[in-house]
Structure 1
Amino acid sequence: MDDMSSLEEEIQQIPELTFFYNLDKEEDLQTSDINNYISECSKCSYNSTIEKCAHKTVRNYFHYKQHMNDNSYSKYCRYFNHWLLKEKYRFKTNNSMQSNYWDECIHCISQKLEASHGNSGKKCIFDKENYPNAIVSMRRYLDKFCSIREYLETAYSLNTDRDKCLFYNKKRDYYLKTILQNIASISSSTTFNKNYFKIHENCSFSNFDKTFPEIICPCDDTCTKNEQPEAEAKITCPLPERGPEPRVEASPEIAAEYATTNSSSTGIFLSSVITLLVTVFVFFALYRFSPFGTWLYDHLKKRNILLKSTEDRMDEDLSEINLINAERNQESKRHYIGYESY
């Protein structure tokens, strides 16, 4: 197994990601504890589909409660809500005529489950925001990338480990592209909330450099060259004329080294171009679809209105000055008395 494959398996074992993947399992849905909650919410017995969703919701909340004493319990709450919002969209899409079943059933369950904590302060509040589905997906991918980035930054020295650094940059490009595709699919009529684009302080579009840092990976052995020593003296005497030098074929080792170096340089150039294009697309998406774009447009519009108003006032002042000067000149002419010498 190569290094990249082992890293793929490794990140699948990140605790909060493992927790999230297990939320879709079908096991342990019919326990007495779960049934007790369901029996208190009659709205959850409309049909078998909503009843199954209700059982999964209670079971998964129990899974969250197993992590309440962890320092990162808030992560598990977020991933529980990522799963819940994904299921909500799936249910309402497949049961459009009974979409209110979800709201009534899950609302009842959420009240029972949140109340079970008492005043412990670690209850997981159900996210009841009506996000567009593209926002639901975008937030899920953003949170997953931040979990992967935090794990890799903690477990490895990405600035010195070339393979781990390349793996990180590959994940960064994939998740950034996927997130932007979700943002681009949002209808222009959608009303945005700036919190849609923020998971926490170091995982948000408003803090882009910390959320998606680009790491320059160290060179491998093939792109490290020792500088050739300079000639100790220059030739001052004219050299005798010679015929064309015979062509010498490079050795396989030199040819392979040149090919690898050329490939490495090309890869660096392509990576820089891709990063530039992604950066331009990010700022376009932020201007076009985020609250920042609306704020910038309003700010520029107000500035243009202010400048236009200032210019109009200046024109009015100049007109008044010209009128006053004209009146004074006319008055001077009226009082002027000419005379002739005899």
Structure 2
Amino acid sequence: MMMMVKPPSHTMLATIILYGRRSPNNQHHNDIKVNIPKYDGIIDPDEFVEWIRTTLVRYLGGLKSRIANVMELQPYTTLADLTILAHKICGDIHGQFYDMKELFKVGGDCPKTNYLFLGDFVDRGFYSVETFLLLLALKVRYPDRITLIRGNHESRQITQVYGFYDECLRKYGSVNVWRYCTDIFDYLSLSALIENKIFSVHGGLSPNINTLDQIRIIDRKQEVPHDGAMCDLLWSDPEDIVDGWGLSPRGAGFLFGGTVVTSFNHTNNIDYICRAHQLGKRGRGRPRLTWDEQICQDMAELHLSEDMIYDRSSWRRRIRVHDG
């Protein structure tokens, strides 16, 4: 028997950001500040989405070439070495363009703020094209201020299942935009290292990788394979009940425990592992076994001094959690 799904009891987050508390039928557009090539200013968010959809997409072929040049000319390999300490690190966006707009509003505009995005830009949400193309435009305009690494959804196979392929076909009547974007996926780094101390990756660790140099030699310019080191970096998850390595219920990657994290950090002389890939069940919450120290699991925003010293008490006070 078919069951009817009830509508959400509260207004969806993206709707609140776009329209405030008013309904879409009584539209009230919040302004969005953007920094794009040849334009800096305040525009209506819907106008900007339409600009990406109708104008920027025409230059996608050239944008693809520019992205390739940017990532080839920079020391931008499979492991991106970031020498600037202060970064705002963002996890899965999944096509939520207006939520990403809110991230820039809260975190600060690029290039005034340095950003590291941990992948999964597309699929699930309604604005994957607009989300990914804006990030690409920012990368071309400010290559040293924004870093994009690959998630498990930056994949030709996955995007044909979870929405990005269908979105491109629906909006443009062909799969050309999808092909351009998935070709660009192959140029994205698989991980990043901030000041040689903070290892950032979408998924997690791999039993086939013991050192950072092993990551650096992976050939990233390919579709995400079904297994192996590249797959594991994008698919693996930490698990507090696992001692060592375990099979992942995802069917790709592995589960890894605290001893694996401790060993990897010690071998590579790094302090923390920062990753995304998993949903906080309450919309927020601490990650599990991502870093060695228990205090690190409370981190929402981390500010370090030049000598990599942090203050635990002030760190905790920076975390603001608002229920409701």
TM-score when normalising by structure 2: 0.23
More helix by share: 1
Which has the higher Rg, Structure 1 or Structure 2? Answer: 1
Q: Which has the higher strand share?
A: 2
TM-score normalized with structure 1 length: 0.22
